[in-house]
A = this chain, B = another copy of it.
Amino acid sequence: MTKKIETEEKIEKCPVETALDILAGKWKILILWYLRRETLRFSELQRMLPKVTQKMLVQKLRELEKDGIIHREVYPIVPPKVEYSLTEYGETLKPILKQMYLWGEIHKKKLNKKF
């Protein structure tokens, strides 16, 4: 193996960076926001995020699934039905989402003045 963990904790990451590892990427936070309290089908997410291309949406959902943040439930029916929801682990991100919402809510007007 090419694993080099000799000086393991040498590069201790800032916790903020840890969170960013999960949340970085252009659409992830918004996806999680819409999933914060309801299970949604792929097509529903698409409608809620009209500016995200199908390819990107698929890609980001896969990444979130891989990180254990969301759950992907496939119903073996025709036509296909796939539902996405937050996992228990994903739920723990809600306070971050909430703070971003609160900030955006308060500062929306200030932003609008600039554009």
Residues from chain B with Cβ under 8 Å of A96 in the complex: 96, 99-100, 103
Residues from chain B with Cβ under 8 Å of A21 in the complex: 111
Interface residues of A in 89-113 (CB under 8 A from B): 89, 92-93, 95-108, 110-111
Within the complex, what minimum Cβ distance (angstroms) separates A14 from chain B? 7
Contact of A108 among B18, B30, B102 (CB under 8 A): B18
A15 interface residue (CB < 8 Å to B): yes
Residues from chain B with Cβ under 8 Å of A24 in the complex: 26
Q: Are A101 and B15 in contact (CB-based, < 8 A)?
A: yes
Which residue of chain B has the shortest Cβ distance to A110 in the bound complex? B89
Within the complex, what minimum Cβ distance (angstroms) separates A12 from chain B? 9
Q: Are B103 and A93 in contact (CB-based, < 8 A)?
A: yes
Binding site for B on A (CB under 8 A): 13-24, 26, 29-30, 33, 89, 92-93, 95-108, 110-111
